[in-house]
Chain A
Amino acid sequence: MNLGGSQAVKSMSVTSSSVSRKSGDGVSDQFPVGLRVLVVDDDPTCLRILEKMLKNCLYEVTKCNRAELALNYLRENKNGYDIVISDVHMPDMDGFKLLEHVGLEMDLPVIMMSADDSKKVVMKGITHGAVDYLIKPVRIEALKNIWQHVVRKKKDEYKGKDYEQTGSVEDGEQHQKPPEDSEYSSSANEGSWKNPKKRKDEEDEAEERDDTSTLKKPRVVWSVELHQQFVTAVNHLGLDKAVPKKILELMNVPGLTRENVASHLQKYRLYLRRLSGVSQHQSGLNNAFMGPTDATFGPISSLNGLDIQALAASGQLPPQSLATIQAAALGRANKSPVPVPLVDQRNLFSFENPKLRFGEDSQQLNNNSKQINLLHGIPTNMEPKQLATLRQSAQSFGNLNMQLHSQPSQSGSILTQMSQPQSRTPILNEINCSHVSTLPSSLGQPILSQALPSSVLPRNGIENVRGGTYGSVSQPSSAIDFSVNPGTEFPGNSFPLMSNSGIPILTSKGMIQEEVNSEMKVPRGFLPNYDTFDELNQNRSQDWGMQNVGSTFDVSQHSNLQGSLGVSPSILVQQGFSSNHKSEQSRNASVSKAAFSVGDGRIGNSSSPGQQVNSSTADISQRIKAERLPNMGFQNTFFPEQFGQDDLMSALLKQQEGTGAVESEFGFDGYQLDNLPV
């Protein structure tokens, strides 16, 4: 009877010993009771002991002696587990491999265990993303606290890190509501702290964007300021010595976790590498990034490849992908100005997508995606609010975009403009940039080419945004991105990320020194883009600028490589935006959606999203529309992914018609579609 009652309520695994889960009432009080743990160890003795210990902690335990089996359990029941504990040495599969899979596919916290306590192995666990490493024999005390990893992860996902953005903050706060309350009642909250993937599937969630915040934002939003703080800290420590812990300390931002910083740092590094690599030689970049998915990107043009690699390397839509994309986009300015922007966005967000996309019509995608990515990527990071802002800015950019086409030289000005916005939120810029860069990977080239034509845009857009200081085309990449952003009002600017990152990267790389400088300024601008995705949507041109900023950032990189890209990057960006703009909302929405959805599922894992992204544009657009991309929460995760740019683009284009709504859906939707001044 009580079982029946509780079951009715929870219907979760009844088997669990945790009562609270079932009833769903007082779950929060009882947390972490009922934590659903999957423990994997080939040693039956250890397994039995662990099982008993976990049960004694009042957790709901599922034991498994084979990694493959564990993965099956996880896959079959996506939301059935909260945390995984796995041994390192297992006969059928290396524990680290399992760790990677879980991280990518399910995005669950994984704790590694081993009798081996050598630093090397422990370090390996850390680098592979384990949230903790326990030395055997494991004591029950060590297991009592594993719930912290679950909470932390949820918190990071939900809470927006955009401290300065009100919007994001709100969202963040809402999300913050920890899962404690809800989570255990799996049935209850689906979403709240269930995997982002779930979110992705739930289209409606996107619509709740405004109120959502609770569930939607899976990622921390790296606002311009936050990013700037991050960059400052990194520069202070020296890129080589910058470790998440120290960075975290230097940043001294409440609520920011080491993990957030670590993943951001990873992306940032990739982005930097990408930038430097791009300038040196595209191929070099590809190698540089060599990420695990190297192969995937291989075929793609160097630019693209680079981007993709960056993306791949990041492993999770890290900003790097954005940078890559941006770079790629920049480099590609030559391509037709296709409304790539949409695509880009997707790419940005979906880390995986870029990879996938690459394979597909790389050219097209690249072009499209690049542009889009650049733009998109940026917004994704931003929270919906930001997107809105971006959107608005994008609108202004949109104008630019249009014009850009006609005047390639504009790009330069864009850059300049971008630099202006820098002040905005350097952090954002960086983030954006990084994201953008990722985009370029997929778009890489196309974007650049497109960018060129869109130089006009930037100019216009930028001007609107800022005043159109495109003058400095030469540096377009960096400058453009930034300049664009600044012009717009990126409130939230997540874009600036791009610029920020771009700048530092450039400087360090030395390649784009100039750009860097200009970018430095720009980043600010970018950030706003990101953050103000929404805004952008509204200001098309603005967004565009923002996006461009981010993208240009990368693009410029590429352009530098390419040599005369200068203009292109900006153009690309703009183009992307403009095109996006056109389709605007619809596109943005779709793009963002795609991005998000992709990213959603994966935030950080991007493995599957990519595939999804590949789905036809139609799908994407539909998806995008449907899902409003919950607060660009995807922030980092999304960027790397490149949604089938082409798809996105087309989808976006289709949606152009007045899809204002789309924008709102995505939170950043404004950004994507609207922003692009078509």
Chain B
Amino acid sequence: MEGNHFQRQAAYTRKTLFDQGYLDEQFIQLEDLQDDANPNFVEEVVKLFYTDSARLIRNIDLALADNSSHFDFEKLDDIMHQFKGSSSSIGANKIKKECTQFQEYCNAGNLEGCIRTFQQVKQEHATLKRKLESYFQLTRQDR
């Protein structure tokens, strides 16, 4: 019974994440990969993402803080490209969208826009982390 409760909760939370656009189809791909041999695969991958993405976020922040006369948008775009690829691989839909926006500003050479958008990126990044953590907790309860 408890299990059921958590199961339901987990299912509900999951559904919400999809409905609200936090996650997309790619997340399902991850879930499909999970099996008995790798029962926590999805959580494992998400953890991996958050560890690695922290590094990338730091790099982008540093790049954005660059005060030199010639701002290197290319480098910025490059790091963001990596970050975006990583985010999309776990199905982080909203983060991905913000990344795309960021890249648009970057291509336009709009540093202001980049900085603003990056704030959004970081916010989404943090929000998703929170939500997924509680989601995984629910799924773990289940087992």
Contacts and interface: CB of A to CB of B under 8 A. Distances in A.
Interface of A: 42-46, 48-49, 52-53, 56, 89, 114-116, 136-140
Contact of B33 (A43, A44, A115, A140): A140
Interface string B106-128: 00000000000000000000000
A48 B44 contact: yes
Interface centre among A44, A46, A52, A137 (most CB of B within 10 A): A137
B136 interface: no
Given A89-B78, A115-B84, A136-B85, A45 B90 contact: yes
B33 A46 contact: no
Contacts of B78: 89
A453 B52 CA distance: 70
B48 A44 contact: yes
Interface residues of B, number: 24
A89 B79 CA distance: 10
Interface string B28-58: 0110110100100100110011001100000
B86 to A, nearest CB: 5
Given A43-B89, A44-B52, A137-B89, A49 B30 contact: yes
Nearest to A116: B81
B89 A46 contact: yes
A45 B49 contact: yes
B129 to A, nearest CB: 14
A140 B52 contact: no
Contact of B52 (A45, A138, A139): A45
Contact of A53 (B33, B44, B82, B88): B33
A46 B90 CA distance: 8
Contacts, number: 60
A43 B30 contact: no
Contact of A115 (B32, B52, B81, B91): B81
Nearest to B37: A55
A45 B45 contact: yes
B48 A115 contact: no
A502 to B, nearest CB: 46
28 contacts: A43-B82, A43-B85, A43-B86, A43-B89, A45-B45, A45-B48, A45-B86, A45-B89, A45-B90, A46-B86, A46-B89, A48-B45, A49-B29, A49-B30, A49-B45, A49-B90, A53-B33, A56-B35, A116-B81, A136-B85, A136-B88, A136-B89, A137-B88, A138-B89, A139-B26, A139-B29, A140-B32, A140-B33
The dominant DSSP class at the B interface is helix
B87 to A, nearest CB: 9
Contacts of A136: 85, 88-89
Interface in B55-86: 78, 81-82, 84-86
Given A44-B48, A89-B78, A52 B88 contact: no
Contacts of B45: 45, 48-49
A49 B91 CA distance: 12
A137 B29 contact: yes
Contacts of A114: 85
A48 B30 CA distance: 11
Contacts of A46: 85-86, 89
Nearest to A140: B29
B9 to A, nearest CB: 26
Contacts of A52: 33, 38, 41
A46 B41 CA distance: 13
Contacts of B29: 49, 53, 137, 139-140
A115 B96 CA distance: 11
Contacts of B86: 43, 45-46
B85 A115 contact: yes
B42 to A, nearest CB: 10
A49 B86 CA distance: 10
A45 B33 CA distance: 14
Contacts of B91: 137
A52 B41 CA distance: 9
A137 B82 CA distance: 12
A44 B89 CA distance: 11
A137 B81 CA distance: 13
A56 B33 contact: yes
Nearest to B91: A137
Contacts of A48: 44-45, 48
A48 B48 CA distance: 9
B52 A49 contact: no
Contacts of B41: 52
Interface in B15-34: 26, 29-30, 32-33
Contacts of A53: 29, 33
